[in-house]
């Protein structure tokens, strides 16, 4: 059931979820319902905050997408448009109230580069876990 405050978010949620679903094959979907969708790079028995890849969450005022590669590697946003940066809240969350083709295309590019630097690099997770505060920071971004 759609709450009054988010009745127009179906398309936004579906588009952002679709971005993450593209990376789900061979990965682990940790949440999948009408309000949350999450992808982890490791199976449950190997999961840690540093293996979490991303999630989409439908809120009251906007739909959020959380991208842990951006948290772990802020350089992924180098060259990002001011419009995309304005939608960022914290280190890895981007909020949208409507679909914007140009911004969504830009976000897909960031997501693709983030995937290549994380899941595409077997050394990434152990190196990320070795960084001071990595576990704590990933846990904060995951919720």
- Indicate the domain borders of the chain: 8-134
Q: Where are the beta strands (DSSP E) in the chain?
A: 28-32, 36-40, 52-58, 63-67, 88-89, 93-96
75-112 burial, b at 16+ Cβ within 10 Å, e below that, comes to ebbeebeeebeebeeebbbbbbeeebeebbebbeebbb
User: Under DSSP, is residue 32 helix (H, G, I), strand (E, B) or coil?
Assistant: strand
Q: Could you give the percent of the chain with pLDDT greater than 70?
A: 78
> Is it true that domain 8-134 has CATH number 3.40.50?
no
- Find the angle CA(93)-CA(23)-CA(54) to the nearest 5 degrees: 20
pLDDT of residue 8: 77
- Residue 97's closest CA among 1, 19, 33, 10? 10
Rounded to two decimals, what is the model's pTM? 0.80
Question: pLDDT tens-digit profile of 103-139?
Answer: 999 999 999 999 988 876 666 555 555 655 544 444 4
Residues 63 and 97: their CA atoms lie apart, in Å, by 6
DSSP bridge pairs for 29: 39
Residue 5 has pLDDT above 70, yes or no: no
Question: pLDDT tens-digit profile of 76-102?
Answer: 999 999 999 999 999 999 999 999 999
């Amino acid at each position: 059931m759609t709450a009054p405050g988010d009745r127009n978010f179906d398309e936004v949620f579906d588009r952002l979820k679709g971005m993450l679903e593209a990376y789900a094959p061979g990965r682990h979907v940790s949440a999948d319902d009408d309000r949350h969708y999450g992808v982890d790079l490791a199976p449950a028995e190997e999961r840690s905050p540093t293996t979490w890849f991303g999630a989409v969450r439908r809120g009251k005022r906007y739909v959020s997408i959380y991208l842990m590669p951006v948290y772990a590697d802020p350089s992924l946003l180098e060259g990002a448009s001011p419009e995309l940066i304005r939608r960022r809240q914290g280190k890895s969350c981007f909020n949208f109230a409507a679909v914007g083709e140009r911004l969504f295309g830009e976000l897909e590019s960031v997501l693709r580069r983030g995937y290549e630097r994380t899941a595409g690099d077997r050394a990434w997770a152990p190196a990320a876990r070795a960084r001071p505060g990595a576990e704590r920071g990933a846990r904060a971004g995951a919720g």
